[in-house]
Amino acid sequence: MNPPGTNPFCLARADELKHSLLDESLIGVTTGGTRHVVSQYADDLVAIANKKDLTADCSKGHLMHIQTWCRGTCQRENKDKREGMLIGRLNTFRSQAPAGILANDAWLRDGDYLISLGVPFSNTSIDKWVYERYRIVKARFARWPSLAGASLAARNTLAQTKVYGSFRYYLFS
């Protein structure tokens, strides 16, 4: 029985985060003097990995920690939902990317993007995502009847729910 107010799933996710952050063997990516190895919110985990941090057999690095979490919680990672983006030198020399990490070694292609926690990531530009998102929001507005008789408060509420709701994670990250 768990103590009141605790969720073993959330504790296990926090434990995965703790082990990844404390694992000094993980290289991750360093920007501005800060080492980044993982980003996590609820049940979404983003491994920020150096090529040496990943092995398909889960013998070390991020995948080892994820496998440990899976065994400890009797849960299973959906490997088909794994997405990966190569950056820097690995994106230039794709043949050097680690094999077996993603299904069919389907690393993100240049110009494409992936969404993590509502935020688009790309190894080139996110302009494509912004434009696609804009078209979706514009189509939502087009389906609404005339707003000529709507009050300012009603128009503001509509803008908040349709525009802000579609871009909020992007705008605040």
Report residue 121: phi and psi, to 5°: -125, 140
- The pTM for the full model equals 0.65
pLDDT band at residue 47 under the 50/70/90 scheme: confident
Helix (H) / strand (E) element for 154: namely helix 152-159
- Mean pLDDT across the stretch 145-167? 82
pLDDT band at residue 1 under the 50/70/90 scheme: very low
Q: Which residue has the higher pLDDT, 2 or 120?
A: 120
Per-residue pLDDT at 4: 44
pLDDT band at residue 169 under the 50/70/90 scheme: confident
Tell me what the pLDDT averaged over the chain comes to: 78
CA 13: distance to chain centroid? 15
Per-residue pLDDT at 5: 44
Q: Are strands 34-36 and 29-31 parallel, antiparallel or unpaired?
A: antiparallel
Report residue 31: phi and psi, to 5°: -135, 135
Here the tokens at position 37 are: 């190895």
Instruction: Name, of 15-19, 41-45, 91-95, the range with top average pLDDT.
Output: 91-95
Helix (H) / strand (E) element for 143: namely helix 127-143
Among candidate residues 147, 146, 138, 126, the one with its CA nearest the CA of residue 166: 138
